[in-house]
Structure 1
């Protein structure tokens, strides 16, 4: 019996290791492709490092990639903070308070999740021009503040994660409604906050369509836009673009590496709440 358990453990570990290697293979190939000259990518599948890394890095650096990196970080960080705060605030109200037309308003929020965001891009661009924000990074941040998925996610999580008894006890001790949200609730919803933060940061960091349409100033380019400009009028430097992708992927990989436990805990807890 003990040998069977040991054999199962070895097989399970081996299977997980093989799946992990298979999952990491695209990242490995992406990094390796960034070390080769552009023409090598069309001749064969490269599996070993090349000798063109420095030249590709110079091409990436010459495109003011550091400025695009900073723009992406500002947009993603601001989007994450504002989205999580508004979503948690609205989710707390929907989960723990009764007010007029509550279910109707919540249903309307859920309804917006069914409408493709691409349908409203033209109207959104016109709105940003009317407000005088088209020459700034604000149009890339504002859509994440009204995050229907975030409101739904936090509502479902808070319903089951925050005990009503704790809130009532705090009210008896003289805690205000705002005090409940800022002092009591955060301790119960950190897994959901971490999960939503990682998702919003990832979505904002990888956003390409909205910056492509609304940003026309190279000084405001984010990473996806900056990568597409690598090369010249006669040649698209795919190797440099792939190196830019590798560099642009690092923050996301680091976030998921450090926050994976909280991310998984938030996903599993949210799946059984509500």
Structure 2
């Protein structure tokens, strides 16, 4: 097979796979343009004429407030999680201290325990701290991110040369200066990858907000979508439109950071 034939075959294959991957998202967007009743009577393949009414239903439910709450929670969670994980990973990867291996083993152990097991205790703790019905219970779990610590530790261990750190220390640079001025430049792909993952996980989180949030004005997008409709009618078409709108920030972020995301994944798979 010639080079041209291989190129054409690869292009056609990628195009077909892309169509298959994007088809569910296209169907989701199209379903948001129909009446709720129409979704049960036919298979929709082309846009309908009920988009404006569905959008009015979404707007009437204060979906913009849920959007804002989700953005605050996801943005703050991402910043805090990446910052703490990078600092902890730097410490585990480049410093020797007492019980280092045991502490790191304890961090890895928490990754093996399903988070759902601690939900009851977590809710009681938030009530004791008077943080219930606020956005803080949705942010705090991401600050202590065991996967983030493990990810950063493995990446920094292989990506940041010890000689560079020692040279900076000889020049009089402090530990925090080394971290911010030198280490961060080496781990940019890992930071981008972890940021996208944490933002996605936080943005799509449904179980934790369902348990700790009771005030409608504090709802995030997953909870806001479930409230679309009325007490006597579940408007699936409006919910699907809300789901399409809620997916846009994630698509934009992955489109912007896709190259760094892939570079961080591939680098992390061979280092450490």
69, 72, 93: which is aligned to 2:70? 72
Deviations 1:2-41 (Å, cap 9, x if unpaired)?
Answer: x711001000000001100110000000000000000111
1:17 aligns with 2:51: no
Deviation at 1:94, TM superposition (A): 0.0
Look up the SS of the partner of 1:185 in the other structure.
helix
Look up the SS of the partner of 1:115 in the other structure.
coil
Alignment-derived partner of residue 120 in structure 1: 118
Equivalents in 2 of 1:60, 1:53: separation in Å? 10
How many residue pairs get matched? 272
Alignment-derived partner of residue 38 in structure 1: 36
Deviations 1:103-142 (Å, cap 9, x if unpaired)?
Answer: 0000000000000000000000000000010021000000
1:171 aligns with 2:166: no
The gaps in structure 2 that reach 5 residues or longer are: none
209, 218, 221: which is aligned to 1:220? 218
262, 265, 268: which is aligned to 1:264? 262
Deviation at 1:173, TM superposition (A): 0.6
Equivalents in 1 of 2:118, 2:43: separation in Å? 41
Look up the SS of the partner of 1:136 in the other structure.
coil
Alignment-derived partner of residue 242 in structure 2: 244
Equivalents in 2 of 1:133, 1:35: separation in Å? 39
Equivalents in 2 of 1:173, 1:43: separation in Å? 73
198, 201, 218: which is aligned to 2:199? 201
Deviation at 1:44, TM superposition (A): 1.5
Alignment-derived partner of residue 156 in structure 1: 154
Equivalents in 1 of 2:256, 2:263: separation in Å? 13
TM-score relative to the length of structure 1 = 0.99
Alignment-derived partner of residue 50 in structure 1: 48
47, 62, 82: which is aligned to 2:80? 82
Deviations 1:158-203 (Å, cap 9, x if unpaired)?
Answer: 0010001100110111101111111111100000000000000000
Equivalents in 2 of 1:231, 1:173: separation in Å? 64
